[in-house]
Amino acid sequence: MKKFLIACFLFVVTVNVYAKPEDDRLALREFFAQRFPDMDLNEMINGLYAFDEGAREQWLEMEDFPPYEIAVEEGEEAFNEPFANGKGYADCFENGGIGIKQNYPRFDEGSGEVITLEYAINQCRTDNGEEPLPWQTGELAAISAYMAFTSRGNKMSVVIPDDPRAISAYESGKEYYYTRRGQLEFACENCHMQSAGLQLRADRLSGMLGQATHWPVYRSKWGETGTLHKRFRECNSQVRAKPYEPQSRVYRELEYFLSYMSNDMEMNGPASRR
C-alpha cells in the first residue's frame, strides 16, 4: 500500500511538473496577447514589420520586387536538376518536395535525431552520391527558398511525437532559448520576448512567435539569402557566445523548439529583412 501511494505521488508530481509542448505554445501566445493586446498575433510572422508601421511600408514596397526572388528561381532550377544517378530531390520528399516546409523540422525515429529541411536536402544529395552543399547560403539556401515558396500559405505543423528522444530534443531547444549565454549574458528570450517590439539601435526587435515561418531570408545586411542557422550563428556572435556549426545538433534542436512555437501560423518564406 505504501509503495502504491508513493508511486501515485510521484506520478502526480511528474505529470504536474512536465509541461507539454502544446501547453508551452499556448502559454507563449497568451504572453504575447497580453503584451500586445491590440495586435493580431498572426502578424508576428512578419517580424519587426508587425511593430513598426514605417518600416512595414518600406518593406511592402520592396516586396513588389523582392530581393529573394533570384534565390527562388535558382532554387527551382537546382531542385529540378537531376543527380548523376538520374534521381532528384523530388524523389527524397513526400509530395515531390512541394508544399512541405511546414512539416520541418521533423523527428526521425530511425536515427533519433531532429531533421531540418536543409539537413534533409543535403541528406538527399549524399544518399544519391552527390556532395553536400555548404549549409548557410548559396545553392542550399536557394533550394530551401524555393521549397519554402511552394509552402506559402500552409500552416506550420511541426510534430513532437510521444517519444522520449523527441521530447528531450524539444526540451534541449527550449532550454537553449531561455538560457543566458555569452560574454554579454543574453538569452534569445531577452531580445525576442522581453524586448520584442522595442527599438535596438536603428531597428525593432522581432517577437518569438512566427520567427520560424519565413526562412530562408534575404537580409540586406548579408546581401544574400541565408538560412535560419546562419542567423542563429549571428545572434550568438552578437552576445559573444561561441556559435555552433550550422545544422549542429544544438541548432537543430533549437529550431525544433522554435518552429513548434510557431505552429498553426502561416508559412511566408522566403522573406526579406534589413
Partner 1 sequence: MKQLIPALASVSLAVLTLFAPAMAADATEYQAALTEARQTLGDAESKVQLWSTSEILLEDAEKAAASGDFNLAVKLATEARLQGELAVATAEREKQIWQSHVPK
Query: Comparing C-alpha atoms, which of 129, 110, 128, 138 is closest to residue 118?
Result: 138
CB of 246 to partner 1, least distance (A): 16
Contacts 24+ apart (CB under 8 A), 25-28: 25/260, 25/261, 25/263, 28/208, 28/209, 28/261
CB of 44 to partner 1, least distance (A): 15
By C-beta, is 72 or 187 nearer to partner 1?
A: 187
CB of 32 to partner 1, least distance (A): 9
Query: Comparing C-alpha atoms, which of 27, 50, 35, 33 is closest to residue 205?
Result: 50
Answer yes or no: are the C-beta atoms of 137 and 228 closer than 8 Å: no
Catalytic status, residue 235: yes
Contacts of 36 (CB under 8 A, 6+ apart): 197, 207
- How many Å separate Cα 54 from the centre of its chain? 26
By C-beta, is 71 or 193 nearer to partner 1?
A: 193
User: Checking DSSP bridges between strand 113-115 and strand 106-108, what pairing results, if any?
Assistant: antiparallel
By C-beta, is 24 or 108 nearer to partner 1?
A: 24
By C-beta, is 265 or 271 nearer to partner 1?
A: 265
Helix (H) or strand (E) holding 199: strand 199-200
Burial of residue 102 (CB within 10 Å: 0-12, 13-18, 19+) is buried
Answer yes or no: are the C-beta atoms of 219 and 226 closer than 8 Å: yes
CB of 159 to partner 1, least distance (A): 21
Which grid coordinates are listed for 226? 541565408
CB of 228 to partner 1, least distance (A): 18
User: Checking DSSP bridges between strand 217-219 and strand 271-273, what pairing results, if any?
Assistant: parallel
Give contact residues for partner 1 (rule: CB under 8 A).
Answer: 19, 24, 27-28, 30-31, 174-176, 178-183, 185, 187, 189, 193, 236-237, 240-243, 250
By C-beta, is 155 or 240 nearer to partner 1?
A: 240
Q: Which residues are catalytic?
A: 235
